[in-house]
Amino acid sequence: MEQAYKLLAQQKEISNNKAKELIDRGLVFVGDRQLKIARAQLPEDSRFRIEMPEDITVIYEDEDMVAVNKPAGIDSYEVQDSIAGTELLHRLDRDTSGVLLLGKNKEFIKDAVKAFKQRKVSKEYIAWVEGVVYEEIVIDTPIHTIKKGKAFSKIDERIGRPAHTEVYPDEVQGKKSKVKIMIATGRTHQIRVHLASVGHPVVGDSQYGSRTRAKRALLHARKIGLLGKEFVAPVPTDIKRYK
């Protein structure tokens, strides 16, 4: 037995630090199982597979901003770093794909941040969730986020911040449902914790209670409307068709 990151480094002829980074980013698999713990003890004959994220694609660009389709497996700040002279206007979780907006000048960034704070931004997501959703669900419970180490959010009526999520049924396959989600607020992990709180965690989201194995949490930011413009990211194959 040996620690996973050391075995990966040996097999792929990379540094231990690079091996840890790939595992932490959720890009390493042993068979069909995603490897989540770099220091996990594994048999020395374990065979690893690395699945690199898709390329970042630009949806729209002008003198004020850039809208991109962020693939799953890439941190929002990696997108910012890859496009010189831009600043994130909001963030998506690493596993979440879809529309990500970046500003290019101070005046526009100021106006955009104000619009986000005043909840004048429309956001539509698509997700597969556990269980059968057959009617609209409105969730208004407050969310408190703990940011020590890996961020974690929970419902907290006492100290949580207001959060509003609307869930609309779209498709059912067995005991899984595809849903459209509209949010008026942007709390950390809002969609994930709100859906989990009503018994419908996002498929593949083990942090918030999904028991279904998947390569990632099946959540996609499909559409964002900001300052009179609307941006749409095509729904990726793993969400367009669950199985």
CB 123 within 8 A of CB 92: no
Sign (positive or negative) of CA dihedral 103, 232, 118, 142: negative
Report the distance separating Cα 120 and Cα 109, nearest Å. Answer: 14
93 is catalytic: yes
The DSSP letter of residue 35 is: P
Nearest-CA neighbor of 67 among 90, 101, 97, 93?
101
Helix or strand holding residue 150 (H, E) = none
Choose, from 24, 93, 170, 205, the residue flagged as catalytic.
93
Q: Which pair of tokens denotes residue 157?
A: 């009526």
* Cβ neighbours of residue 178 closer than 8 Å, sequence gap 6 or more: 126, 127, 128, 129, 170, 171, 172, 239, 242
What stretch of H or E contains 42?
strand 41-42
Alpha-carbon span 177 to 171, nearest angstrom: 6
| Residues that are catalytic | 93
